[in-house]
Amino acid sequence: MTSKDIKSEIAPQLPPEPENYLNGWKEVSAGADGRKSAGKNVENNQQTQKGFKRSISNSSLLVQRCAKRKRLKAKADDVHQISNEVNMVNSKNSSYNKEERKSDYSSTEYEELEFRQEKRMHFMERAEDSKRIMQGKDLEFENLPKYVKSCLLYCSLFPMSYEFEKDALVQLWIAEELIDLSVTKRMENNGKACFNILTSTEFIVPSSYDNLYRQQKYKVNESKATNWYPKGGLSTAGGYLRIEDQLNDNYEMPLHLSLDIEEFDSSTLENLKNFKHLRTLLLVGDYGSSIKQIPRDLFLCLRSLCTLDLSRTQISELPSSVGCLESLNYLDLSHTPIKFLPESIDSLYSLQTLRLRGCLALHAVPEGISELINLRHLELDIVRQLESMPKGIGNLTNLQTLKAFMVGRDDGYSIGELKNLNNITGSFSIARLENVVKLEEAIKADLSRKQYLNKLELRWGDYTSDEAPPEEEIIERLVPHYGLKELQIQFYKGSIFPNWISNPSFANVVSITLYKCINCQVLPSIGKLPSLKILNIFGLDSVQDMDGLFCRNVEIGDNNSFPKLEKLTLDSMLSLQEWTPAENGDFPSLLEVSIRYCPNLYELSFFSHLKILKYIEISHCIKLHSLPEGGLPASIESLFIRGCPNIKERYHKNGGEDWYKISHISSIWIDYEEMSRNSVSVVQNVNIEKGSVLVH
């Protein structure tokens, strides 16, 4: 972050606080130890934050101070000058009465002012840290900001080869209160910023990519671990202890313990009972898979646990004594054969993260999970793992991670449970929409308030009911937030798409997928979505003609359609016969077109004017008799054709009457046979460069 960026972030929008406010802030952000002494959970930190509130005597004074701040910003050359002026003004106004100032605002306005002030002071305090960090990748551990050091030291619990996910590590940091809780309403944002610092300075580096979950994996950078990472598997620095041999009574009692032991036996787990003040217990590496049972009284001896990771073990049940862990913030049971969770889990009121990904034998979670009002992350594949949602999940208003919601018909299971789940972040799927029996419930879900969603999937099932409202009316009321980036509609059985899908106010949408909407006869008019780059249309069996309305809605205007679209896929369009020619100027950014399994398509005439198109794939379109009569654009680099007998006959290199129309293309494949004119010469050139010559 440059000084210019920092000054922009702290631009004055409200009056500064008295000097004792700064002192209070420094106490909270002084480091991991200071934060722990301030309280053990988010609620205590929030109470501390409330203690920062100050007031001002009257509104005219507020105006004067705001004006002063604006003048100071205009004169300031850097963040230091702003900070000095803030302190000067603060010292003159430290005696104003708190209640008088608060009375000048509504409660919502006052909280917003307070939040902005805290955010500004946060950036001011860390300006020097940001400057040092931006110096480059050669930053040493000693020069890292204190809060970043604390987070990096936590990674000493991991073996050097241990791989982790970004989100999981951030959740661990939050569970251990290593992340500032008082500067933002989203702790995860601060955690991700810290993670980005460690990756930009290469203390943490990418290691592999998880194709199943589509997530990047990371590990500690061994080349930069000399000054902070303990060798030999043993470290007591900062209360951290990593053990790579047998656990015994010879170790000092740590606060944070990780076990990377090759052979676990009953004595290992029994010895854990002696670590009565343990806050963190992680089973890392692959060796934990030998653990099949947890002693039933283990958690009675480890009541201070904040973090518990039992992932990749072979446990099939979790002892009910886990309910006594009142301070537990993080519980990971991922990739275990666990069959059920104990009812006592509803006592874990401090729980923020529950990871159940890959628990294939788990088909239900206790209804009491809806009592865990501090839960922020529920990691599991809901559609594949669960038979139904837990009742009353709408009570979990702090939830950020929830991959899906399966709609039920009864109270506590209906789509209306989504009403207050407005913090859900990232990708979200709403499945079994055929169970929506009242339009009021669809309206109640209020998807337009889910501002943190990037991707939304609306999915129907096979079941239909005469009592349910028409699906056209239901989907019309499921309007997402305008900030959405990706939209998928699957197995929708209505005859028309919702009007909102054509609204250009969805200015951030970059990808749309329409899948198996078999009754829709007309494609939606989405050509005016300004940012749309990827469009996938699968299995719309009733669409016969892709006409001009697909490109433009006459009510919106006649400007070029699909201005940013780069990739278009049409697949399994069984009734599609023709694509009405687009107007010149439409699809100006289109790079790739794939048309597959459209057995009734007989004409394509819209390619000719696409000036930058590079890739065309046409497969299994058995009635297609020719490519555009006007020829293909000179920009085409690759043409793949298969399962199109008429095209093969006309455009084959050996004797095809229209071969000359495509011969300029550098890469041509027809039914897996390469037709490119320059294919042989390319092979010769490559081998000559390598010192050998092929004779053809």
Q: What is the pLDDT of residue 81?
A: 43
Residue 670 structure tokens: 């027809």
- Only one residue has tokens 């005016």, namely 528
- Closest by CA to 358, choosing from 171, 212, 211, is 212
Q: What is the pLDDT of residue 95?
A: 41
Q: What is the pLDDT of residue 27?
A: 32
Question: Domain boundaries in the chain?
Answer: 3-18+54-130, 133-208, 230-402, 603-696
Q: Report the DSSP beta bridge partners of residue 545.
A: 578
- Threshold 0.85, pTM exceeds: no
Q: What is the pLDDT of residue 554?
A: 53
- Closest by CA to 15, choosing from 57, 49, 47, is 57
Q: Report the DSSP beta bridge partners of residue 307.
A: 280, 330
- The dihedrals phi and psi of 219, each to the nearest 5 degrees, come to -155, 170
In the chain, count H helices and then E strands. Answer: 19, 26
> Degrees (nearest 5) of the Cα angle 185, 191, 192?
105
- CATH superfamily, region 230-402: Ribonuclease Inhibitor (3.80.10.10)
Residue 588 identity: P
Strand pairing class (426-431; 404-406):
parallel
CA 397 to CA 399: how far, in whole Å? Answer: 6
Q: What is the pLDDT of residue 267?
A: 77
CA 415 to CA 432: how far, in whole Å? Answer: 10
Tell me, what DSSP letter sits at residue 452?
A: T
- Only one residue has tokens 């004067």, namely 64
- DSSP-assigned letters across all residues of 594-617: EEES-TT--EE-SSTT-TT--EEE
Residue 594 structure tokens: 């794939």
Tell me, what DSSP letter sits at residue 133?
A: H
Q: What is the pLDDT of residue 582?
A: 65
Cβ proximity of 473 and 499 under 8 Å: no
- The dihedrals phi and psi of 238, each to the nearest 5 degrees, come to 65, 20
The dihedral through the CA atoms of 40, 43, 49, 54 has a sign that is negative
Split the chain (696 residues) into runs of 10 and give each run's mean pLDDT. 40 35 31 40 41 36 43 42 42 44 51 54 50 58 87 91 94 92 74 94 93 91 82 63 72 83 76 90 76 91 96 92 96 94 95 95 92 95 88 96 94 95 96 94 97 97 80 97 98 96 95 97 93 98 85 62 95 91 82 97 83 95 89 92 94 88 92 72 35 32
Q: Report the DSSP beta bridge partners of residue 206.
A: 218
Burial-class residue 689 by CB neighbours within 10 Å (0-12, 13-18, 19+).
Answer: exposed
